[in-house]
A and B are shown apart, each in its own frame.
Chain A
């Protein structure tokens, strides 16, 4: 296979206040024509820097130090992209034309001040001589090709008028408008729901095939890698540590980092209760790059005198796979790579001892939350956003209830309504901290305050949920000072130290500010803050979604340990189904502000009964190559319905492949179909009983 781009010994440095640091350290790889190469690694490993270097759009403080990027132009002429100033004319002629790029967050990567069409046509304007009308025509054709309905109208839409999936399609249209030969995709599906992700991946695969386009696909999600990659390049701290074909990398990983990444993934299958084998620590910052192997301080096989002295060579272990580790190559006999690691199977978590005959600790009875829409001259109420509709739910002491659904399903609203951040429109929330029963709904904030110590929240983004001007001690002590039990300074200090110990922090961290910590450590501080006032229930709203896989595994283990030790009850809200599968005892599936299915985790993941649950589960990407070869995954078209304009009947009916007349006219109620299995569907057996061939006919 002829390579389209050959990267040889490329080094990139960042200059900052502390001088120069190496961001990419002599990386080499190539992208064959018409194939997809996946760059994999955690944040801070240099994936995006590599992509930006290829396209010469590095930030001002970054510079290519040495190396070559040999690219064969459309005309057949070779060109070293690493040479010359980034803003040179011949480089600009390639950018957006022969090589183009799409990004993780189309909302921020497209300007909200110009229409989609304007931003697409602009590319044509710089690279072709088309007239305005021709350019507009081509742009609309492109929008149609990427599957945007009524493309001609959408041409004049702004980004904020489109859904996440549509925005990403518009971005893809913009990148493909000049028929590039190489598309660089930087985490293009990370911000999307699993259902939308499946559709976007399909689209990219199809477009690649029909155009014989090469792709450099950056992701941290090994499930996505299995789905789309031909070749995989694993990066760690600016080094390529392993590379090879996707089958080899995923089924026969050699580098300890690659193995660690795979071991950190939560499982949706039978092993799901196992403690995750998280890689300890975090990716060091570029300033703290260790001498020798960059992975040494997190590696189980570390050998003093070798790994901390010399950077290992990238060693070929077969025709196609190579590894950068001292366990291979000249000094392989010094490194006991195949000795047992810390993976121990007997640390399976016992199922949480939950007594479901007792009264539940939290009981939601027909809770609804509706927000008024006001508009017009006198701000009259002209509509209602029905975010939560008639939700009934029990959570028992000591269990973890997972809450899943696409974004916009009302998951977060439910969490916030429970603790009274939103006041429920109708319905009751009952809380039983001890023997007594408290009705949380209908209480004012000051009446609720004592219970806010019992029910605590952990938020998604530890960067914005911790006050940057408060030291760790104050962040945690603050919640104790407003509480009642601990009066003296000494008591509070004692408690702060106690919770810090629980999250694995030592005393010297007390006086530091949040910015001194990594993302995972910050999330630990968030958890410590939640733990401080001896809570009984913790509502974790996407608590691990912003973290890298290895850190996510550490936090999940921590949450499990804390639950066992303190008999905590978790409401775990997440869009990441494998994380939910890993941590939950029972799972509730939400759609359009209501619960459509609720059962224990095994049932939900293995034998779902609701068509929506089925679709969600089938969109999970397992890190197994060719798992999706004969693809029977369900592609859920369309979007979550607008809560201001819910369809009549079952809200899922318009997207449901089993829907029949009754679904469009009447809304199914949530009922028990077997012990502890609740379902809201007119056809409770349809998912189990429809044979696969019949489904294919339905899909066709």
Chain B
């Protein structure tokens, strides 16, 4: 098991390097760069930047070198100095911009995950055990609605409802007073008061699909011989269910945890823009529009990093849950 974790962590290094390279190349792929953009904007404002000035700027920003040289510069500074480059449009070091945002994204995604689990797992179990009951139909119906309604629409509706009927301004993750305040209990409380809307919005689609997954998995397991064996031991039914089929049904769910996480992270951009959230989504969106290459590359890289860690986490969880997989790990397979 320890061996497995070490192996996987070591494998992450080439994976991350590959991701960083791809991220950087993708950003630099479109024709033109930030300086071209500055020239264009200046000319729109009636201002004027000469070609020589532009070249000078390129030199300052290091944009005159080849793409690979820029990439290696960037990586080198990152590894040695922890310097992620400078955001052109914000005129700030990238690291000052993204940590908060990454933290918020992680927090929001984790909250959504927990929301999904706490709602979907019990409902899924209920749906399977009481197959074709009224409750199953209601859960299925609501689940399909959850799947079908676009997230941003749900966000708008929830915003409207809470503003119109509860008089609460729910945009953003903080009330205006707390946006730039230092961390305190009050600020955490304010965050909690705001985070539930994006959490629900981001969680609905996931909840619906997890209900379906759990239901289908559990229906497969409910009639397995080991369930009959457990029942024949004279245990109460709820104990039989939770110890045996439910535990088995969680397996495929756990192995797909990471996909769920990716869905939440990448699906949150539009919702974040609509709700005005201080997460990575809107920042990345702007960075891409403005060809703010270091900012965009760093964001893409760290988001990918999150997913890689998520994969590792769900694999370890799976091994912990399932002795068969643990054995494969120990035997050096996988």
Contact = CB atoms under 8 A, between A and B. Distances in A.
Interface in B213-232: 223-226, 228-232
B59 interface: no
Contacts of A94: 234
Interface string B225-269: 110111111111100000110011000000000000000000000
A95 interface: yes
A113 B232 contact: no
Given A57-B232, A87-B237, A376-B332, A160 B226 contact: no
A96 B322 contact: no
B324 interface: yes
B225 A96 contact: no
Given A108-B224, A111-B244, A375-B332, A126 B323 contact: no
Contacts of A112: 323-324
A59 interface: yes
A92 B322 contact: no
A146 B223 CA distance: 28
B167 interface: no
Contacts of B223: 59
Interface in B69-107: none
B7 A113 contact: no
A374 B332 contact: yes
Interface of A is mostly: mixed
A105 interface: yes
A110 B229 contact: yes
A330 B323 CA distance: 63
Given A59-B223, A109-B226, A92 B331 contact: no
B333 interface: yes
B37 interface: no
A109 B327 contact: no
Q: For the side of the interface on A, what is the size category?
A: 35 or more
A57 B233 CA distance: 10
A127 to B, nearest CB: 7
Interface string A34-49: 0000000000000000
A373 to B, nearest CB: 9
Contacts of B228: 52, 57, 103, 109
A43 to B, nearest CB: 15
Interface in B3-60: 3, 7
Give the one of B224, B229, B332 with max A CB within 10 A.
B229
B333 A375 contact: yes
A105 B323 CA distance: 20
Contacts of A97: 234
A100 interface: yes
Given A105-B225, A111-B244, A160 B324 contact: yes
A100 B232 contact: yes
Interface string B290-334: 000000000000000000000000000000011110010001110
Given A109-B228, A113-B323, A375 B248 contact: no
A96 B234 contact: yes
Contact of B236 (A92, A113, A160, A377): A92
A127 B225 CA distance: 22
A101 B235 contact: no
Nearest to B233: A96
The interface centre, meaning the residue of B7, B224, B233, B237 with most chain A CB atoms within 10 A of its CB, is: B233
B220 to A, nearest CB: 13
B248 A55 contact: no
A566 to B, nearest CB: 41
Nearest to A110: B226
Which of A113, A115, A377 has the most C-beta atoms of chain B within 10 angstroms of its own C-beta?
A: A113
A57 B231 contact: yes
A281 to B, nearest CB: 29
B189 to A, nearest CB: 41
Contacts of A91: 234
A158 interface: yes
A122 interface: yes
Interface string A122-139: 110011000000000000
A96 B332 contact: no
Interface in A70-121: 87, 91-97, 100-101, 103, 105, 108-115
Nearest to B234: A95
B265 to A, nearest CB: 30
Contacts of A57: 228, 231-232
B234 A92 contact: yes
A379 interface: yes
Interface string A41-68: 0000000000010010101000000000
A111 B248 contact: yes
Given A112-B323, A375-B331, A126 B234 contact: yes
B133 to A, nearest CB: 12
Which of A52, A112, A374 is packed against the most chain B CB atoms within 10 Å?
Answer: A112
Given A108-B225, A108-B226, A113 B248 contact: yes
Nearest to B248: A113
Given A110-B226, A111-B226, A158 B235 contact: no
Contacts of A113: 247-248, 321-324
B226 to A, nearest CB: 5
A93 B323 contact: no
A109 B332 contact: no
Given A108-B226, A109-B228, A93 B332 contact: no
B125 to A, nearest CB: 16
Contacts of B321: 113
B233 A109 contact: no
A96 B232 contact: yes
A127 B233 CA distance: 9
**Most chain A CB neighbours (cut-off 10 Å) among B232, B237, B243:** B232
A639 to B, nearest CB: 19
Contact of B233 (A52, A126, A161, A377): A126
Contacts of B331: 375
Contacts of B3: 377
Interface in A351-385: 374-377, 379, 382
A126 B235 contact: yes
Contacts of B229: 101, 103, 109-110
Given A108-B224, A112-B323, A113-B247, A122 B332 contact: no
22 contacts: A57-B231, A59-B223, A93-B234, A94-B234, A95-B231, A95-B234, A96-B233, A96-B234, A101-B229, A103-B225, A109-B228, A110-B229, A111-B226, A114-B243, A122-B233, A126-B233, A158-B324, A161-B327, A375-B331, A376-B332, A377-B3, A382-B332
Given A108-B224, A127-B234, A382-B332, 17 more contacts: A55-B232, A87-B236, A91-B234, A92-B234, A93-B234, A95-B233, A96-B232, A109-B228, A112-B324, A113-B248, A113-B322, A114-B243, A122-B233, A123-B234, A126-B234, A158-B327, A377-B332
Interface of B: 3, 7, 223-226, 228-237, 243-244, 247-248, 321-324, 327, 331-333
8 closest pairs, A vs B, by CB? A375-B332, A95-B234, A96-B233, A92-B234, A109-B225, A96-B234, A111-B226, A108-B225
